[in-house]
């Protein structure tokens, strides 16, 4: 699975509980759509750090990095390449 697919599966199962009739797209605005909220971002951060063995902190902890599946995937790629 690609990073995007891993993230999409997590969000679908853990944040949306598969309640949507249409699948998520990579560019869907997760915050504006209310899919990621104040508690959801805690869940997502914990998952991403555990799944990809990363530590996300400081300047990387900005909403823009969690705004879409594509943005989260880019963040992971940048972290892995450091």
Partner 1 sequence: MDFTFTSEQRELRKAVIDFARRELNPGVVERDRLGVFPRDLWEKCAKQRILALPFPVNLGGDGFDFVTTVAVFQALGYACKDSGLVHALASQVICGIQILLFGNESQRAALLPDLSSGRFIYSQAITEPGSGSDAFAMRTNAVKNADKYILNGTKTMISNGPVADRAIVYAVTDPSKKALGGTSCFILSKGDPGFTSGKPMEKMGLRTLENGELIFCDCEIPHTSLLGHEGQGLIMFNEAMEWERTLIPACLLGELERVLEETVKYAKERIAFGQPIGNFQAVSHKVATMKMNLELGRLALYNAAHLKNQRKHAALEASVAKLFISESLKQACLDAVQIHGGYGYMTEFEVERELRDSIVSTIYSGTSEMQANIIARLAGL
Residue numbers at the binding site for partner 1 (CB under 8 A): 14, 31-32, 34, 36-43, 45-46, 49, 55, 57-59, 61-64, 66-67
Report whether 9 contacts 17 (CB < 8 A).
no
* E strands present in the chain: none
Phi, psi of 49 (to 5 degrees): -65, -40
Residue 22 or 55 with smaller CB distance to partner 1:
55
* Shortest Cβ 2–partner 1 spacing (Å): 23
Residue 5 or 32 with smaller CB distance to partner 1:
32
């Amino acid at each position: 699975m690609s990073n995007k697919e891993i993230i999409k599966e997590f969000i679908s199962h853990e944040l949306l509980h598969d309640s949507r009739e249409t699948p998520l797209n990579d560019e869907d605005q997760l915050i504006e759509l209310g899919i990621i909220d104040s508690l959801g971002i805690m869940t997502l951060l914990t998952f991403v750090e555990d799944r990809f063995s990363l530590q996300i902190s400081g300047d990387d902890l900005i909403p823009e990095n969690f705004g879409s599946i594509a943005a989260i995937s880019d963040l992971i790629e940048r972290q892995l390449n450091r």
